[in-house]
Structure 1
């Protein structure tokens, strides 16, 4: 066995620079560090806890519920680091908050997509578990995100996501100087035929790691790119942020109802009142 070369500081995580007292049990995971300010704008209060590399963390409350946010940067490798280190300091629920490309004709720029499961086209999760292991969002998280979108009146779609390791070739876009990767010409069409809803870059790794570790995870993304209609606009970013924040609050209510009922998993028979 090789010697232990881990960071000797057990109290503060090496990449995120956070400790157990810095974060809540539920954390939102945007990619872009600049998105953090748009997320905490919906909260009652917040405090910036750490900022190192692409990882920026704040903790506060939403409707009285403790909540944190940590940016992950672009892609599954850095998102997996965030999940690993946040889990080590006590986080138990992970809600990716991002943007995506929609590939179904009924979807429009500004709509929300709530991930129920994901196609693992990224390579990070394959370094944890066999390739036929499913990337599945936790049903409590999915339920809370849907309930939040309904309460807020936002247009949303729920279904399968594809997570890629590349923004260009891996998502069927042309690379530099018109380069086309093998299979890219019909990638989007084949995914759409299989009823995949959207493409992004982190959800499958986050959901896979959460399942392996017995934690909860899910994702809500705003559609920026309408790949079917050929339109791209950075519109509706705050909708995903508000939906995820409300979902975190609803999950706390669901957990409270579970404790009252003496059960381990929330189900539709356990109504929550806010």
Structure 2
């Protein structure tokens, strides 16, 4: 049965509603950045850019890097934006817009997030790189989907016990990164760890301005969490949503973080632009060298 117009929303020119993209506009390897101004910080390294569009905070450029076609897309901030981006990208490759039916042969995208983050552990210094081997979802967005098959109950239950997690909050979900993409970006410069994904910047990440928060000790509990050597290494707002939806939809995903602050040591990078650009170049070279599909 065709998907209804109210569910699969297309613009007048046939592009998908929020991203303003048609299937031919994207590559099968897509780099996510949060900030629309960071798109050019990636594509300035390309040999050429043959497509560009923007609608709201969603900006996309597609071009060639070392002979490989890549797309760079700004997602904006938060799990709700990732819900839009992942579903619409999947629709671009796995739904026939003319018949409004799911294709018989499904495609798998490679999704690489390049972002900034602060380390929670003393041994992960500023100006280093970190790939998120797991995403810890504490924002609840994934509970809108049938997601029982994608979690890791052992780590989840250990986290719930360690933090005395409130039953009034959404149950935490732990989702593993794509093993294929984790392997692509391994190297001496790259740490690995569990990345926590919050649904907001202030209260959900333990920041207090005027409003009291439900658990003022949650951050320290997260810092000390350790499950068989797996520690929570950093905090941000997209990774677990990317991992969860990618796994449910059948895509590969990994999140790469430029560490610009270390909360445990109280240090901050003296040149954030340099460490971000270094990670961009590192990621682009690994993609060109190792990703073949």
Q: TM-score, normalised by structure 1?
A: 0.82
2:244 to 208, 220, 224: 208
Kept in 1: contact 2:121–2:223 (CA 8 A): no
Match of 2:34 in 1: 31
Kept in 1: contact 2:147–2:248 (CA 8 A): no
Alignment of 1:102-113 (within 5 A): 102-113=119-130
CA distance in 2, matches of 1:131, 1:108: 35
Distance verdict in 2 for CA 1:99–1:78, change over 3 Å: same
State the Cα deviation string for residues 90-141 of structure 1 (Å, max 9, x = none).
2611111111121011112221110111111122222123468421110111
Unpaired runs of at least 5, structure 2: 94-107, 152-174
Match of 2:136 in 1: 119
Kept in 1: contact 2:150–2:248 (CA 8 A): no
Match of 1:268 in 2: none
Distance verdict in 2 for CA 1:210–1:130, change over 3 Å: closer
State the Cα deviation string for residues 36-56 of structure 1 (Å, max 9, x = none).
111112222224421010100
2:213 to 165, 170, 181: 181
Match of 1:21 in 2: 24
CA distance in 2, matches of 1:48, 1:181: 45
Structure 1 runs (4+) deviating above 6 angstroms are: none
Match of 1:43 in 2: 46
Distance verdict in 2 for CA 1:228–1:145, change over 3 Å: same
State the Cα deviation string for residues 160-193 of structure 1 (Å, max 9, x = none).
111111112222222x23x341223342443443
Match of 2:176 in 1: 136
Match of 1:244 in 2: 283
Q: Secondary structure at the match of 1:239?
A: helix
Q: Secondary structure at the match of 2:25?
A: coil
Kept in 2: contact 1:104–1:192 (CA 8 A): no
Q: TM-score, normalised by structure 2?
A: 0.77
Q: Secondary structure at the match of 1:34?
A: helix
Distance verdict in 2 for CA 1:103–1:139, change over 3 Å: same
Match of 2:194 in 1: 160
1:58 to 30, 38, 61: 61
Q: Secondary structure at the match of 1:89?
A: helix
Match of 2:167 in 1: none
- The worse-fitting range, judged by mean Cα deviation, of 160-169 and 67-76 is 160-169
Distance verdict in 2 for CA 1:3–1:82, change over 3 Å: closer
How many residues get paired?
A: 245
